Structure 1
């Protein structure tokens, strides 16, 4: 069964504003910081993000440059909501460890939402460093997961959330007494 698409109409100004806000949040910069880098006032940027102000081509390009991306990255549009039904997610199972990874969504370039199941006592392979600025958000659904980032580690339990810099070698392991499950949001740096 293929993914279902539901048509949605989104005004171009609103869509552009949402893309600007999402990119700014991804970079963790304020409106004032973006205003300084692109030459558009913070007040105008606020209106742009809320879809209340149309921007000129010159200002749109300046905003994109201030966000460190191309204008086309901010103009990519989707006119449909994508629904993936249970059982349709891409699923990968590591035969030696039993670790299962499901790809849940790729809502934008450089952003991926994953679900992991890690059997008791199992650990992932070592993941190479992601590009500079990449962050991963772990939300533990059940069990305990230790995440190593270079020489440091953090132990997470059910209900914990961690935002971690992953531009260094990293890995994770189930250190609990039950199967561990977690949701992972990967936001690649630019």
Structure 2
């Protein structure tokens, strides 16, 4: 499905949850994190710039978030975005190492994006992912800004990276790095699956700028 032609056996691949299970788990995670922080839905809306209706729908699994939405929520709730990923088998979890068959997944079906976490689940200053973008996939309809840096490398296909309203079409072998304070978003405008390595640095005390 991701265009890699993977012929590995099912036991060597991460377990995939059904879409409705993913939506429900994401919603419950957002709600529990909000309650643990002592925030009301209005508090989270104020911190993220998202509407209270959107946050309520996410918590009730009636809306699927974009990457931008999850990034805003991760900053407001003080967790790495990988906190929202599908969990791995505890027996396979290591503190500093991530095995290929133990990657945690985040499947944003509405956005057409699959993110595989390449870094362990503990908090850190750097997050590393492998992104798979289906045709037409995008990070969302709005630009995102926050402190830190982002960098990446295109493995296959094409990715269109928007930086401060300027589009850059990146092909396999191209790479990038930019301050995350630059308004940014990305999409795959082609009819072919694209794959990329994506790196994000972010201090957990940073606040989103919308």
**Normalized against structure 2, the TM-score is what?**
0.48
Higher strand fraction (1 or 2)? 1
Secondary structure, counterpart of 1:87 in structure 2: helix
2:100 to 79, 86, 91: 86
Structure 1 match to 2:137: 122
Q: Residues 160 and 108 of structure 1: is their aligned pair in 2 closer, same or farther, counting only changes over 3 Å? A: farther
Aligned residues: 113
Residues in 1 aligned to 2:186 and 2:177: alpha-carbon distance in whole angstroms:
14
| Rg larger in structure | 1
Where does the alignment leave 5 or more consecutive residues of structure 1 unmatched? 6-80
* TM-fit CA distance, 1:148: 0.8
1:169 to 183, 201, 204: 183
What is the alpha-carbon root mean square deviation over aligned residues? 2.3
Secondary structure, counterpart of 2:110 in structure 1: coil
Residues in 1 aligned to 2:97 and 2:127: alpha-carbon distance in whole angstroms:
15
Structure 2 match to 1:73: none
Structure 1 match to 2:124: 109
Deviation digits for residues 43-100 of structure 1 (CA, Å, limit 9, x no counterpart): xxxxxxxxxxxxxxxxxxxxxxxxxxxxxxxxxxxxxx72222232221111213210
Where does the alignment leave 5 or more consecutive residues of structure 2 unmatched? 1-88
Runs of 4+ aligned residues of structure 1 deviating over 3 Å after TM superposition are none
Q: Residues 170 and 179 of structure 1: is their aligned pair in 2 closer, same or farther, counting only changes over 3 Å? A: same
Deviation digits for residues 2-48 of structure 1 (CA, Å, limit 9, x no counterpart): 3455xxxxxxxxxxxxxxxxxxxxxxxxxxxxxxxxxxxxxxxxxxx
